[in-house]
Structure 1
Amino acid sequence: MSNNYAIILAAGKGTRMKSDLPKVLHKVAGITMLEHVKRAVDAVEPAKTVTIVGHKAELVQAVLEGSSECAFQSEQLGTGHAVMMAEPELAGLEGQTLVIAGDTPLITGESLKNLISFHVSHKNVATILTAQADDPFGYGRIIRNADGEVQKIVEQKDANDFEKQVREINTGTYLFDNKRLFEALKDINTDNAQGEYYLTDVIAIFRQAGEKVGAYVLRDFDESLGVNDRTALAKAEAVMRKRINEKHMVNGVTFINPEATYIDIDVEIGAEVVIEANVVLKGRTSIGERTVLTNGTRIRDSKIAADVVISNSDIEESIIDEGVTVGPYAHIRPDSLLKKGVHVGNFVEVKASTLGEGTKSGHLTYLGNATIGRNVNVGAGTITVNYDGKNKFKTRVGDNAFVGSNSTIIAPVTINDNALLAAGSVITKDIPKDAIGIGRSRQENKEGYATRFPFHPDKK
């Protein structure tokens, strides 16, 4: 079993976010910041992870879904105090403990693995994860001695002119010898301007005792970003989106304009897919090989097979089989299944319905709570009337049926195989196999009556 442990700090409210939601539960690329951090932490395979919760703890715990122990911090009295809350879970254990903030969604598992390797190989009692900043203003600076060991962390307000020139900054992520961490925490106090327990005071205690403190420098400064307000949240979203899109491009996906394409982190995309600008892929969506998604398409939590073309349409919680074409301007609502070779054209809405192989609905149609067979033609203007104000009812259309344009099908009703529904009909009864269903008034022509109306030439 691993002798790595982790503490995730997730108790804060995040006042600058100006939100009722705890800061760590704001989302970046489709999942919460806390979930991003937890995934990175999981990459180092900790024997135990303890998440420090406080503000709206029940919401934070719900996101974790039992994947972490939780320790409650009733008052937010600083980072050192937060780490103290984990002592009942971790005290006395041999190994090293990672301490990381839950608002650092860009950190990667690879960087945390490198941090641990560096810490162990250098036999440090503590290792600070640092980064080189182009503009270090506002950050705590890492001051090293001639041997490269960390002497101290100096905050911006306390730095002298020389220290202000240092570009290596403290990211707020640390690795400690677990036993020494909790021993040192007993020696820190609140004798400071904020009246809080600072975790950084532990570093000073180690140095005063002559113990070895090191620093591992991140390769990518972006990983150090802590999100404290909506501006930083937007920056994190942009960086994460760039990472995601580049990963897919490396795997053979074509982006016409990656800067204007929005893909959540859990989306899967096959090779040779073409994605135009302003496409949004959310949740646990998967896109099969050689599929084309044109400008403006939005897909959420759906499974799209290979060789599909979706043109400027919305798809939610549905399954689209191989060779289907959708759109433009179609809306596929939850619990729908479009089978192989289906065509759903412009201004067609499908909800909780199955369309069989080869079926076509080209224009201006609503198909709700319907099961439609193979090779059915659904004419323009067809409406399934599925709702009586309280209950939903199903429409069933058999294989090879033909539904004429401007038809209204009042469910529950079944149109059997090979039946023909005459254009303009209102259908309230089942149509047998091979039959024609007609539900409309007969046309009557009144000879000469048109001359009575103002539009007629004889009236002008």
Structure 2
Amino acid sequence: MRDGFAIAIMAAGKGTRLKSKRPKVLHEIGGKALLLHVIAAAKTVVPASEILCIVGHEAERVKAAVAATGVQFVLQAEQRGTGHAIQMVKAWFAETGVAVPENLLVLSGDVPLIRPETIDAICDVHLREGAAMTILTAVPPNPTGYGRVIRVSETGPEVTAIVEQKSLTADQMGAQEINSGIYCFRTAALFGKLDSLSTNNAHGEFYLTDVAAMLVADGERVVAVKAESVDEVLGANTIAEMMHLDQAMRMETAKKLMAMGVTIFRPDTCVIDAGVTVGADTVIEPYVQLLGETRIGVECRVRSYAVVQNSTLGDGVLVRNGCVLDGAEVSDGAVLGPYAHLRPESRIGEGAHVGNFVETKKMTLGKGSKANHLNYLGDAVIGAGVNIGAGAITCNYDGVNKHLTTIGDGVFVGSDSTLVAPVTLGDGAYVAAGSCVTHDVPAGALALGRSRQVNKDGWAARKKAAQEAAKKGC
């Protein structure tokens, strides 16, 4: 953490070109809102109490979305430009009585790929150069449309001005270095210029970029530092640009996982959120989605077309093709699928099997237990070493309330059985195939809850004869 620094994050804009009702900074890439990515990077540099999030459009909605981060909020009720946003920050310090920091970093809430290392580099250069303003820059393949940073020399850090594309002179047209909109200021120098900003421009707004020329005119040092990657300073004004950032973030996440010993076949086909962690020697096959805060242990295998969201997998877990997990906990050595559906609060024990077309919800499956075919197991506690036959289900809902099914250790539930909750099956009990169980079954007992079979000899021949007679009579 750095002393003497605070961070202001621009998050007041609407994002008109997105054609969306959602505030721009709440659009998601890598499974999280743009603004949450920026806040996470900022919190590696200063504590949350030193981060000021400037909100405006849909302010309450934005505040609610990031309130848990602990940041402070500054209201920019009218969006009159970046300079106006920092004027609101200056006013916030005056109104709250909070001590003004020596240095103020300004980040953009819609630039989510900014790395903590880059923020640290800005701070280091700013202090080393004794600068009043430090500008983060980049050199994209095509700088058209961006404001250019004009340096005193090609090798030195000092900057003379930030010039918008349409204002470039003939001598400046070759400049490739762009302004990222991310800055570090000596706060006193910045605040001293805010009242001098003008709206005498095409958009009638206060531009923070104008401060650079003002500081240079006063003999202050304005310097620049280049980002290592162009992607980390890119914003998004359209959904297409948003998806470019999303792809870049997901690919970066995949690269980090592979660097830690995870095998990802065809990472370009996988959707892996930034909050996902995976252990070494785990294999992720093509077309897998790992979402939210999913945690996967070592030596697992997740086969193609599986979707794992906000779930925890232990070590050595096999997730076969087409499984869907949401809010599940899976212990070491368990085997899932193919096409199993584990809904929230499903807890699968060590070495347990949840097989083809099995749906679970709010249940526990004990160590070594198996439900391999065509089951629904909801609101159930199932012990160790249990076998759930094909087609067996728990009936947990009476139309008003959900009820619990409790199955002890070593129970055998025959195929196509119906367990009507609330009901308890004691340890070692057996349920005959096709039974409808509505009462508790004692330990070691056999439950038979089905109609007695009756065989009628010669019935088929009599039936066919009657059918033939009916045809002849027509």
TM-score by length of 2: 0.94
Q: Deviations over 1:407-427 (max 9, x none)?
A: 111111111111110001111
Instruction: Report deviation, 1:458.
Output: 8.9
> Which residue of structure 2 lines up, in the alignment, with residue 368 of structure 1?
378
Of the candidates 108, 111, 121, which is equivalent to residue 118 of structure 2? 111
Instruction: Verify the 8 A CA contact 2:52 2:72 in the aligned structure 1.
Output: yes
Structure 1's 250 and 457: CA in aligned 2 closer, same or farther, altered over 3 A?
farther
1:186 aligned onto 2:165: no
> Which residue of structure 2 lines up, in the alignment, with residue 206 of structure 1?
215
> Which residue of structure 2 lines up, in the alignment, with residue 78 of structure 1?
81
> Which residue of structure 1 lines up, in the alignment, with residue 185 of structure 2?
176
Q: State how far apart, in whole Å, the 2-side matches of 1:455 and 1:418 are.
A: 49
Q: State how far apart, in whole Å, the 2-side matches of 1:53 and 1:94 are.
A: 20
> Which residue of structure 1 lines up, in the alignment, with residue 340 of structure 2?
330
1:128 aligned onto 2:135: yes
> Which residue of structure 2 lines up, in the alignment, with residue 58 of structure 1?
60
> Which residue of structure 2 lines up, in the alignment, with residue 223 of structure 1?
232
Paired residues, number: 460
1:449 aligned onto 2:451: no
Q: State how far apart, in whole Å, the 1-side matches of 2:351 and 2:186 are.
A: 60
Given residue 385 of structure 2, which amino acid in structure 1 is its aligned partner?
N
Instruction: Verify the 8 A CA contact 1:10 1:52 in the aligned structure 2.
Output: yes
Given residue 53 of structure 1, which amino acid in structure 2 is its aligned partner?
V
Instruction: Report deviation, 1:67.
Output: 1.8
Gaps of 5+ in 2: none
> Which residue of structure 2 lines up, in the alignment, with residue 295 of structure 1?
304
> Which residue of structure 2 lines up, in the alignment, with residue 48 of structure 1?
50
Q: Deviations over 1:223-278 (max 9, x none)?
A: 11111110111011000001100000000000111111111111111110000011
Q: State how far apart, in whole Å, the 1-side matches of 2:14 and 2:297 are.
A: 41
Instruction: Work out the percentage of aligned pairs sharing the same amino acid.
Output: 43
> Which residue of structure 2 lines up, in the alignment, with residue 10 of structure 1?
11
Range moving further from structure 2, 392-401 or 64-73: 64-73
Instruction: Verify the 8 A CA contact 1:7 1:100 in the aligned structure 2.
Output: yes
Q: Deviations over 1:11-52 (max 9, x none)?
A: 111111111111001111111111111122122226722111
Secondary structure in 2 aligned to 1:352?
A: strand
Of the candidates 272, 275, 282, which is equivalent to residue 266 of structure 1? 275
Instruction: Report deviation, 1:187.
Output: 0.6
TM-score by length of 1: 0.97
Range moving further from structure 2, 441-450 or 160-169: 160-169
1:379 aligned onto 2:389: yes
1:95 aligned onto 2:97: no
Q: State how far apart, in whole Å, the 1-side matches of 2:273 and 2:29 are.
A: 8
Of the candidates 148, 158, 173, which is equivalent to residue 164 of structure 1? 173
Given residue 27 of structure 1, which amino acid in structure 2 is its aligned partner?
E
Instruction: Verify the 8 A CA contact 2:6 2:101 in the aligned structure 1.
Output: no
> Which residue of structure 1 lines up, in the alignment, with residue 445 of structure 2?
435
Gaps of 5+ in 1: none
Q: State how far apart, in whole Å, the 2-side matches of 1:362 and 1:296 are.
A: 19
Q: State how far apart, in whole Å, the 1-side matches of 2:254 and 2:92 are.
A: 39
> Which residue of structure 2 lines up, in the alignment, with residue 320 of structure 1?
330
Instruction: Report deviation, 1:456.
Output: 11
Of the candidates 357, 360, 379, which is equivalent to residue 347 of structure 1? 357
Structure 1's 455 and 259: CA in aligned 2 closer, same or farther, altered over 3 A?
farther
Q: State how far apart, in whole Å, the 1-side matches of 2:157 and 2:266 are.
A: 44
Of the candidates 392, 400, 409, which is equivalent to residue 390 of structure 1? 400
> Which residue of structure 2 lines up, in the alignment, with residue 240 of structure 1?
249
Range moving further from structure 2, 63-72 or 51-60: 63-72
Give the alignment's Cα RMSD to 1 decimal: 1.8
Instruction: Verify the 8 A CA contact 1:398 1:418 in the aligned structure 2.
Output: yes
